[in-house]
Amino acid sequence: MITIGIESTAHTFGVAILRDDKVLSNVKDSYTTKSGGMIPGRSADHHVDVCDVVLKNSLEKSGVKLSEVDIIAFSQGPGIGHCLRIGAVFARSLSILLKKPLVGVNHCIAHLEIGRLSGATDPILLYASGANTQIIAYDGGKYRIFGETLDIGIGNLLDTVGRALGLGFPAGPTIEKFAKGGKKYVPLPYAVKGMDVSFGGLHTNLKHKIQSGKFSKEDLCYSLQETVFAMLVEVSERAMAHCEKKELVLGGGVACNSRLKEMANIMCSERGAKCFIPQNQFLVDNAAMIGLTGYLMFKAGNKITVEDSAIRPYERTDDVEVNWR
Ligand code: AMP
Ligand code: MG
The pLDDT tens digits of the residues spanning 202-217 come to 999 999 999 999 999 9
Confidence of residue 39 (pLDDT cuts 50, 70, 90): confident
Concatenate the DSSP letters of all residues of 302-314 into one string: --B-GGG----TT
Residue 269, C-beta contacts closer than 8 angstroms, at least 6 positions apart: 275
Q: What is the mean pLDDT of the segment spanning 280-305? A: 97
* Ion ligand 2 residue ranges (Cβ < 5 Å): 129, 285
* Structural domains in the chain plus CATH codes: 2-111+282-319 (3.30.420.40), 122-277 (3.30.420.40)
pLDDT for the residue 116: 85
What is the pTM (predicted TM-score) of this model?
A: 0.93
Radius of gyration of the chain (CA): 19
Contact (CB, 8 A) for 235 and 199: no
Confidence of residue 168 (pLDDT cuts 50, 70, 90): confident
Q: What is the mean pLDDT of the segment spanning 48-64? A: 98
Q: Quick check: 38 pLDDT over 80?
A: no
Helical (H) or strand (E) element with 182? none
Nearest CA to ligand 1 atom 21: 172
Cα–ligand 1 centroid distance for 22 (angstroms):
25
Q: What is the mean pLDDT of the segment spanning 219-223? A: 98
pLDDT for the residue 75: 98
Helical (H) or strand (E) element with 318? none
Tens digit of each residue's pLDDT (9 = 90 or more) over 71-118: 999 999 999 999 999 999 999 999 999 999 999 999 999 999 999 888
Cα–ligand 2 centroid distance for 79 (angstroms):
9
Cα–ligand 2 centroid distance for 107 (angstroms):
7
Cα–ligand 1 centroid distance for 212 (angstroms):
27
pLDDT for the residue 270: 98
Contact (CB, 8 A) for 1 and 20: yes
pLDDT for the residue 222: 98
Q: Using CA atoms of 229, 231, 237, 241 in order, give the dihedral in degrees to the nearest 10.
A: -170
Collapsing DSSP to helix, strand or coil, 185 comes out as coil
User: What is the pairing mode between strands 142-148 and 192-193?
Assistant: unpaired
For the chain, the 3-state helix, strand and coil shares in percent, each to the nearest 5, are 50, 20, 30
Residue of 256, 259, 260, 262 to test ligand 1 pocket, by largest number of atoms within 8 Å of CB? 256
